Amino acid sequence: MPLILPVKDKLPQWGTDCFIAQNATIVGDVVMGNNCSVWFNAVIRGDVHYIKIGDNSNIQDGAVIHATYLKAPTNIGNNVSIGHNAIVHGCTLHDNVLIGMGAILMDDVVVEEYVIIGAGSVVLERTVCESGYLYAGNPAKKIKPLTVEQKALLNKLPQNYIMYSGWFKD
């Protein structure tokens, strides 16, 4: 059974048809939309500031979503895929974004829509990732425009995770 805890009388909330893995942890001021999935060993910690997650988003295995006390909440849009072991901290991710496995996004980062953050990348504080590009490296830099295929992946991947989560709901 997932660990779902209130913090200061704020209990996590989520919409319809969400999947939360048995060993996921979600605490405090967390609000998720519909058709979201939170996978094994993922942690969403809304203890020091709020965390909002839109519809059809997936938080994959081992990812950590957090914020900074009195400074930087975390806002995650619709159709966002956060890869395995990524850290998303006190930043804003717009719609149709992929955060690669093991990537780290720091406070006050803004990732505009249709962006891929490459696996293992470190996006430094206050970086703005412009719509339509791949960012990668440490520190992350704009690498190249997304291809038609990559943009299609950003639309397809959240639907795949809705399908995968259905395998655990039956």
Span 134-158, average pLDDT: 98
Q: 55, 79 in Cβ contact below 8 A?
A: yes
Which amino acid makes up residue 137? G
Residue 169 has pLDDT above 90, yes or no: no
State the Cα–Cα distance between residues 103 and 92, nearest whole angstrom: 15
Closest CA to 53 of 36, 70, 72: 36
Query: Each residue of 39-77: pLDDT tens digit?
Result: 999 999 999 999 999 999 999 999 999 999 999 999 999
pLDDT surpassing 80 at residue 170: no
Rounded to 5, what percent of the chain is helix, strand, coil?
Answer: 15, 40, 45
Q: Please write down the HEC assignment for all residues of 56-75.
A: CCEECCCCEEECECCCECEE
Domain 3-169 maps to which CATH number in 3.30.460.10, 2.160.10.10, 3.40.50.2300, 2.40.160.100?
A: 2.160.10.10
Per-domain boundaries in the chain: 3-169
